[in-house]
Amino acid sequence: MTGGTSEQWSADRWARAALSRLAEPGDKMVHALLADDGPVGALARIRSGHGDLRRFAERVRRLDVRRDVAIALKVGARLVVPGDLEWPEGLQDLPVPPWCLWVRGPEQLGPAVERSVAVVGARAATPYGETQAAELAAALATAGWTVVSGAAYGIDGAAHRGALAVDGRTVAVLASGVDRVYPAAHAALLGRIAQTGCIVSEVAPGSAPMGSRFLSRNRLIAAMTRGTIVVEAGVRSGSLQTLNRATDLNRPVGAVPGPVTSMTSAGCHNAIRNKGAVLVTSAAEVVELVGRIGEGVLDEPRGPVLPADELDPHDARVHECLPRCGGLDLDALLSATALTPMVVLAALARLEEAGLAVRKDGRWRKISSARP
Amino acid sequence: MTGGTSEQWSADRWARAALSRLAEPGDKMVHALLADDGPVGALARIRSGHGDLRRFAERVRRLDVRRDVAIALKVGARLVVPGDLEWPEGLQDLPVPPWCLWVRGPEQLGPAVERSVAVVGARAATPYGETQAAELAAALATAGWTVVSGAAYGIDGAAHRGALAVDGRTVAVLASGVDRVYPAAHAALLGRIAQTGCIVSEVAPGSAPMGSRFLSRNRLIAAMTRGTIVVEAGVRSGSLQTLNRATDLNRPVGAVPGPVTSMTSAGCHNAIRNKGAVLVTSAAEVVELVGRIGEGVLDEPRGPVLPADELDPHDARVHECLPRCGGLDLDALLSATALTPMVVLAALARLEEAGLAVRKDGRWRKISSARP
């Protein structure tokens, strides 16, 4: 892309647009052609139809890049290619990066996913899972993180909605062309994402969402983000493939636990047990997982701290032997605690200091609550 | 215990019984005396009341071992000391083992806990937690494992009940004397455990359940078992101390996940995140965790396997391009798949072989379900 003439620049883009119609995502032979000959050369080789490239003949015959570009323009989509400022840095980690990306929406894709988390999961989600996905996404978006997902039913949709609910940034990566509304019931959701964030696809406008394209799409979600969180997933959920791709790319992965009785949490639990996923229960824990060093270090969660909880064992034993009313003298305390006088007196001094014990007329009693 | 005369044997037992009244569990000074002088010698030193041992004076004055033994006999309890066949092997791993154990019930304690798991958790448990504890305990007991717990409200009680429900073995370790019914509402439960399993305590019969004794009791549960499972726990639940003690003793620890919205699962999730606890969702996973090598190795959970799930990517792409009705000829398939004729024909052959595709009049269509 760099160092060429403007004409070359334009021809390369055009060739990559053509490739997104001709070659399925992840095609290793096309990747090798691109590496050897560049986009224009690779396209010429495919058009020539020699040898194994004959498999593209039918698609070459039907190729109409102008039509694809016209569809893109109609929905306000643009073409993004490697070398563009908008090209997401993380995609270079893929064994076979996309030939190009088709992008709709006001956000600049690359900068938008620089601090992003994939929040994905089962289409057949439970209300618990959808609530968790939405709350997690909302909290991540509030903290300035972009929420990336696949716009599917269930967890994906809930994640996008959660980010949108707090006016956060969210990016939807589709298995179909960026013009296609899939699933159809998500037309309004996709419309809102296109108005505020980004809708992304590596296949040409107009392309249908074939099954194999969902697998390819999942690798884009994994590569574009700093880490992937699965909120709910059955043991064979496709969202677990996104998690596997993230692991392949050395991105951190997390999973939200749920009731062990819920089949849609079984894939999450298995990922934690066997796939190296970290158990996460909050956006702060997600940020700790995917953030760079020092970006989100957490203290362990704790209950409220009462002074009596922090006593050393001897002090605690003396404290528990003290009555709430009346009081005990030293001899009685020595008998009750079976500790030495020195230990008991030192403990009483510390308990008085902490406001947990009080002495009156040579007898001690406990004060149950901490001083204000 | 071994190699001495019968008289010595009897004197040692009597001295250990006295120590269980005089010295709190875990007293390091008493442990050192025992190591240096044996039980009879240690007791004599404590009776002498020199130096720091003066702290025992009041308890020595009140000591009445005959009374304690009489209480034990009344509830059918026996004294078990190191060297007895019934002494649990795991207790020798403790920095300060119990001076002796008081045991009620028909089971031989040592053999009963040879294959045992601690199932513990919060007193303030939810119905979800109690159900999981009971089901886990029932499944473990059915598989021949002894369920050890602390007879407390909530998870502990549910674990004992789950084991009893399948006529399994269960052991309750108390913080009070074995004659005390604590909590009082668990009288019937403790009665059933005493009739079928074991009730165990390291403090003398008649002793009250002081707070510090719960901590000591937790170390016994951890040491006696092959591993500890926490079913539900708030972030400050005492049951997490049992888990910490088990970790100190190099015993495997596990925790059952739950909804992230449940405060009583927060301690479990934190243990999985930060304390090395393994997430467990079933008795089989618990056995895999605590069993010796080869005792309970599990396959990862999987959904039902359909042949179409196991196809290689090319076969899968061909399969998904096949219509269910009518059929496509080879040219149409080459165009639809953008694969070479050789790849498509080989894929079709494999799909026919697997019963996933059928050819008629030069056209192929898919068969959606696998052959019976």
Question: How does pLDDT run across A267-301, given as a tens digit for each residue?
Answer: 999 999 999 999 999 999 999 999 865 555 555 55
- B contact test, residue of A273, A287, A320 with most B CBs within 10 A: A273
Residue A279: burial class (beta carbons within 10 Å; 0-12, 13-18, 19+): buried
Q: Which residues of A touch B282 (CB under 8 A)?
A: 260
Q: How confident is the model over A1-35, as pLDDT tens digits?
A: 444 577 887 999 999 999 999 999 999 999 999 99
Position A36 confidence tier, pLDDT thresholds 50, 70, 90: very high
User: Residue B310's pLDDT is what?
Assistant: 65
Look at residue A237 and tell me whether its pLDDT is greater than 70.
Answer: yes
Q: Which of A212, A278, A340 is closest, CB to CB, to B320?
A: A212
Q: How confident is the model over A151-166, as pLDDT tens digits?
A: 999 999 999 999 999 9
Taking CA–CA distances from B212, the nearest residue in chain A reads A317
In this prediction, residues A312-327 reach a mean pLDDT of 83
Q: Which residue from A83, A80, A87 is spatially nearest to A103, judged by alpha carbons?
A: A80
Look at residue A304 and tell me whether its pLDDT is greater than 60.
Answer: no
Position B309 confidence tier, pLDDT thresholds 50, 70, 90: low
Q: How confident is the model over A37-77, as pLDDT tens digits?
A: 999 999 999 999 999 999 999 999 999 999 999 999 999 99
Taking CA–CA distances from B277, the nearest residue in chain A reads A273
Position A314 confidence tier, pLDDT thresholds 50, 70, 90: confident
User: Residue A359's pLDDT is what?
Assistant: 86
Ordered domains of chain B (ranges, CATH): 6-63 (no CATH), 89-290 (3.40.50.450), 307-366 (1.10.10.10)
Look at residue A100 and tell me whether its pLDDT is greater than 60.
Answer: yes
Look at residue A365 and tell me whether its pLDDT is greater than 50.
Answer: yes
Strands B170-173 and B198-201: parallel
- A contact test, residue of B55, B207, B278 with most A CBs within 10 A: B55
Element (H, E) at A60: helix A57-62
In this prediction, residues B333-349 reach a mean pLDDT of 84
Residues 6 or more apart whose Cβ sits within 8 Å of residue B20: B68, B98, B99, B100, B102, B202, B203, B204
Look at residue A87 and tell me whether its pLDDT is greater than 60.
Answer: yes
User: Residue B293's pLDDT is what?
Assistant: 54
Look at residue B304 and tell me whether its pLDDT is greater than 70.
Answer: no
Q: Could B273 and A265 be called an inter-chain contact, meaning their C-beta atoms sit closer than 8 Å?
A: no
User: Residue A300's pLDDT is what?
Assistant: 55
In this prediction, residues B61-73 reach a mean pLDDT of 95
Q: How confident is the model over B5-55, as pLDDT tens digits?
A: 778 879 999 999 999 999 999 999 999 999 999 999 999 999 999 999 999
Taking CA–CA distances from A22, the nearest residue in chain B reads B338
Look at residue B3 and tell me whether its pLDDT is greater than 90.
Answer: no
User: Residue B336's pLDDT is what?
Assistant: 83
Q: Which residues of B touch A24 (CB under 8 A)?
A: 317, 338
Q: Which residues of A touch B58 (CB under 8 A)?
A: 331, 334-335, 338
- Our CA-based measurement puts residue B189 at a distance from the nearest CA of chain A, in whole angstroms, of 27
- Our CA-based measurement puts residue A87 at a distance from the nearest CA of chain B, in whole angstroms, of 27
Quick check: ipTM above 0.85? no
Which B residues 131-150 touch A at CB under 8 Å? 132
| Best-predicted range by mean pLDDT (A207-216, A302-311, B184-193, B296-305) | B184-193
Q: How confident is the model over A126-137, as pLDDT tens digits?
A: 999 999 999 999
Q: Could A338 and B212 be called an inter-chain contact, meaning their C-beta atoms sit closer than 8 Å?
A: no
In this prediction, residues B177-198 reach a mean pLDDT of 96
Q: Which of A55, A274, A281 is closest, CB to CB, to B340?
A: A55
User: Residue B185's pLDDT is what?
Assistant: 94
d(CA A58, CA A217): 24
Q: Which residues of B touch A258 (CB under 8 A)?
A: 257-260
* pLDDT more than 90, % of chain B: 73
Structure tokens at A354: 């902490």
In this prediction, residues A187-202 reach a mean pLDDT of 97
- The 3 state secondary structure assigned to chain B is CCCCCHHHHHHHHHHHHHHHHHCCCCCHHHHHHHHHHHHHHHHHHHHHCCHHHHHHHHHHHHCCHHHHHHHHHHCCEEEECCCCCCCCHHHHHCCCCCCCEEEECCCCHHHHHHCEEEEECCCCCCHHHHHHHHHHHHHHHHCCCEEEECCCCCHHHHHHHHHHHCCCCEEEECCCCCCCCCCHHHHHHHHHHHHHCEEEECCCCCCCCCHHHHHHHHHHHHHHCCCEEECCCCCCCCHHHHHHHHHHCCCCEEECCCCCCCHHHHHHHHHHHHCCCEECCCHHHHHHHHCCCCCCCCCCCCCCCCHHHHCCHHHHHHHHHCCCCCCECHHHHHHHHCCCHHHHHHHHHHHHHCCCEEEECCEEEECCCCCC
In this prediction, residues A203-226 reach a mean pLDDT of 95
Taking CA–CA distances from B132, the nearest residue in chain A reads A260
User: Residue A296's pLDDT is what?
Assistant: 52
Q: Could A279 and B269 be called an inter-chain contact, meaning their C-beta atoms sit closer than 8 Å?
A: yes
Position A354 confidence tier, pLDDT thresholds 50, 70, 90: confident
Residue A124 at interface with chain B, using a CB cutoff of 8 Å: no
Q: Could A266 and B278 be called an inter-chain contact, meaning their C-beta atoms sit closer than 8 Å?
A: no
Q: Which of A54, A236, A270 is closest, CB to CB, to B340?
A: A54
d(CA B137, CA B135): 5
Q: Which of A22, A259, A341 is closest, CB to CB, to B258?
A: A259
Look at residue A370 and tell me whether its pLDDT is greater than 60.
Answer: no
Q: Could B281 and A302 be called an inter-chain contact, meaning their C-beta atoms sit closer than 8 Å?
A: no
User: Residue B1's pLDDT is what?
Assistant: 41
Position A303 confidence tier, pLDDT thresholds 50, 70, 90: very low
User: Residue A360's pLDDT is what?
Assistant: 84
User: Residue A301's pLDDT is what?
Assistant: 53
